[in-house]
Amino acid sequence: MNKNHLLIAICAAMAALSGCSVGPDYKRPDAPMTETFKPTPDWKIADPVDDASKGEWWKIYRDPVLDGLMAEVAINNQNVAIYVARVRQAQALASGANAARYPSIGFAGQGGRTGSGTGTNNLVNPDGSINDGQINNMVNFQLGVNWDSDIWGKLRRNVESKDASLVASVADLENAKLSMQVQLAQSYFTIRSLDSLKVLFEHTTKQNKRSVEITRNAFEVGVKARQDLINAGMQYKSVEAQLIDVAKDRAAQEAIIATLIGKPASNFTLAFNPLPGRANITVPVVPAGLPADLLERRPDIAGAERRMAMANAQIGYQMAAFFPSLTLNSSGTPGNNIGFYGSNFNNLFTAPFLFWGIGPSLALTLLDFGARSANVEQARGVYDENVATYRQTVLTALQEVETQLAALRVLEQEASVQDEAADLAEKGVAIAINRYQAGIAGYTDVVVAVNQALVNQQKSIQIAQQRLNASVLLVKALGGGWDKPGNSSTPQTNPQQSSQNQQPDQRPGREG
């Protein structure tokens, strides 16, 4: 009875000690974070929300073509598929780490016959027959148990590490999705701006061609000089070359979108769809006092925070090597197993042939010349590295949001001024043409005026594209939108503004 009591006491002690865990418990370090972007200077701890829905942020642009392309990214993009596979790997590793905390039960069976010789004696039996030695039959069936008591929490720290790695993998997946979506949106708006440039260049080319014809007729009757004809032809060919260049750039952007949605570039074409007239460009308006806590939705911040937790758990995992391990093993003496051993199947599964064993094994490294200490120090270094990475990720996020907010503010002002410049340049063209036709100015004045108008109209289109791309980058900087959970995802727009997918204004000089 005393032996039984001792065994029970040992098992109870193992169970009680298994609740301990060596190493530091994880506590998220502080990171700089503001409640609002400018001018409030208050700070708070960043708290990544890994499971916060990023939403279909691209719908703020109210463009059904863009909506359809985004749906294909989620399904067919191969970079996203890579991260989906990595999440599955992390899930398997987390499940395996958790399973290692529990006993494993194994079965083994063996059967056979053995024989031994007689040496140099008794080669012949007394009855005159040959002595073949001793022949034995053997049958063995047993169940064995293996279990690590995890007294010092080594396995639990490993579970913490793998769980954190899993969540970090999910964050990486969300970051990959967001990155692909942002690339798609930028390429899409680039194509639309190129289509607007095409409208502009085609219209200008038609005007220039007509000017060449008029000037040629005037030259042939001796009214205009050859230099005027040369200038008109040069102007015509210059814009025609730019029109060809637009086609090249558009094809490159189409190829990018095709790759993002998982299609061969040769099988994908995006329909012609210029931006609306520059007076009707709609860029979602960011609410005043944008809450900085939405940065907590950024998947890269979530991933960096979880990698800190993973590294912290590895410190405890390495520290556990300084303490003895107490395990139950099915092999060794005594083996923690139960089974039957006999010479045949007859009555094998009866008490006389039963065997069993139970008892813990204790192991402790006494001397390793600093190997364990080095492992712990390396784990601490990895943790410190991840802390610095986390804080830098937060600071970079704040920088990116501030940059895009400033870009949107400045570009809105620039667009207004640039549109006025484009309107004035158009009037300048009309005046130059009238002066030329009246014979009080040369065609060089017309060329200069047309070039100035073309440059200003191009600049207006480029600013419109920059505004749209800045809003896309702001969405990315915020981790996928700026509406709080429960708020409507409908963006704020000016009452006079219409949606992006309206019919474009194709009047001369009114392209995006």
Residue 148 β-bridge partners = 327
pLDDT per residue as tens digits for the range 299-323: 888 888 888 888 888 888 788 877 7
The closest of 105, 115, 112 to 341, measured between CA atoms, is: 112
pLDDT per residue as tens digits for the range 52-61: 556 788 988 8
Cα separation of 280 and 510, whole Å? 10
The region, left, alpha or beta by phi > 0 then psi within -120 to 50, assigned to residue 153 is left
Cα separation of 262 and 286, whole Å? 32
The closest of 461, 467, 504 to 201, measured between CA atoms, is: 461
| Model pLDDT, residue 37 | 61
Cα separation of 19 and 10, whole Å? 15
| Model pLDDT, residue 188 | 96
Measure the N-to-C terminal CA separation of the chain; round to a whole number of Å: 93
Residues 198 and 512: beta-carbon distance below 8 Å: no
DSSP 181-218: HHHHHHHHHHHHHHHHHHHHHHHHHHHHHHHHHHHHHH
Where in 343-484 does DSSP place strands (E)? Answer: 354-357, 361-363
The predicted model gives 79-96 an average pLDDT of 91
Instruction: Specify the DSSP element, H or E, that contains 137.
Output: strand 134-148
Q: Which of 132-141, 222-231, 245-254 has the lowest mean pLDDT?
A: 132-141
Q: List Cβ neighbours of 174 (8 Å cut-off, separation of 6 or more).
A: 50, 54, 299, 302, 480
| Model pLDDT, residue 257 | 96
Confidence label for 121 from pLDDT (cuts 50, 70 and 90): low
Torsion of CA 449, 453, 459, 464, to 10 degrees: 170
What's the length of the chain?
Answer: 512
Cα separation of 156 and 164, whole Å? 12
**Vertex 402: Cα angle to 397 and 404 (nearest 5):** 95
Q: List Cβ neighbours of 471 (8 Å cut-off, separation of 6 or more).
A: 283, 284, 404, 408
- Domains of the chain from N-terminus onward: 24-103+155-326+370-477 (1.20.1600.10)
The closest of 145, 114, 147 to 132, measured between CA atoms, is: 114
pLDDT at 86 over 50: yes
- Choice between 438 and 282, residue whose per-residue pLDDT is larger: 438
Token pair of 311 as six digits: 């590294």
- Choice between 213 and 123, residue whose per-residue pLDDT is larger: 213
Q: Which of 24-33, 34-43, 260-269, 462-471 has the lowest mean pLDDT?
A: 34-43
| Model pLDDT, residue 127 | 64
Task: Compute CA distances 408 → 23, 63, 422, 466, whole Å.
Answer: 48, 20, 20, 9
Cα separation of 284 and 490, whole Å? 9
- Choice between 118 and 497, residue whose per-residue pLDDT is larger: 118
* CB-facing half-sphere around the CA of 421: CA atoms within 13 A: 17
- Note every long-range contact of 481-484, with CB atoms under 8 Å and residues 24 or more positions apart, other chains counting: 481/54, 481/55, 481/57, 481/60, 481/294, 481/297, 482/286, 482/287, 482/290, 482/294, 483/55, 484/291, 484/294
Radius of gyration of the chain (CA): 39
pLDDT at 12 over 80: no
pLDDT per residue as tens digits for the range 153-173: 778 888 888 888 888 888 889
pLDDT at 391 over 80: yes
Q: Which of 290-294, 384-388, 432-436 has the lowest mean pLDDT?
A: 290-294
pLDDT per residue as tens digits for the range 169-178: 888 898 899 9
Identify the DSSP state of 276. Answer: P
Cα separation of 57 and 298, whole Å? 13
**Vertex 242: Cα angle to 240 and 248 (nearest 5):** 115
Residues 456 and 419: beta-carbon distance below 8 Å: no
Token pair of 458 as six digits: 């191009």
- Choice between 225 and 53, residue whose per-residue pLDDT is larger: 225
Q: Which of 74-88, 221-235, 403-417 has the lowest mean pLDDT?
A: 221-235
The region, left, alpha or beta by phi > 0 then psi within -120 to 50, assigned to residue 55 is left
**Vertex 316: Cα angle to 312 and 317 (nearest 5):** 105
pLDDT per residue as tens digits for the range 339-364: 888 777 777 787 887 888 887 877 88
Cα separation of 324 and 329, whole Å? 15
Percent of the chain at pLDDT exceeding 70 = 77
State the pTM of this model.
0.76
Cα separation of 17 and 11, whole Å? 10
| Model pLDDT, residue 167 | 86
Where in 324-450 does DSSP place strands (E)? Answer: 325-328, 337-342, 354-357, 361-363
The predicted model gives 199-212 an average pLDDT of 88
Cα separation of 191 and 193, whole Å? 5
Residues 386 and 368: beta-carbon distance below 8 Å: no
pLDDT per residue as tens digits for the range 329-343: 777 666 778 888 877
Confidence label for 107 from pLDDT (cuts 50, 70 and 90): confident
pLDDT at 191 over 90: yes
pLDDT at 407 over 70: yes
| Model pLDDT, residue 133 | 60
The closest of 84, 82, 83, 80 to 260, measured between CA atoms, is: 80
Q: Which of 378-387, 417-426, 450-459, 495-504 has the lowest mean pLDDT?
A: 495-504
The predicted model gives 265-291 an average pLDDT of 76
Percent of the chain at pLDDT exceeding 90 = 27
Amino acid identity at 64: P
| Model pLDDT, residue 110 | 81
| Model pLDDT, residue 44 | 47
| Model pLDDT, residue 42 | 41
Distance between alpha carbon 312 and the CA centroid of its chain, in Å?
23
Average pLDDT, the chain: 79
Confidence label for 490 from pLDDT (cuts 50, 70 and 90): very low
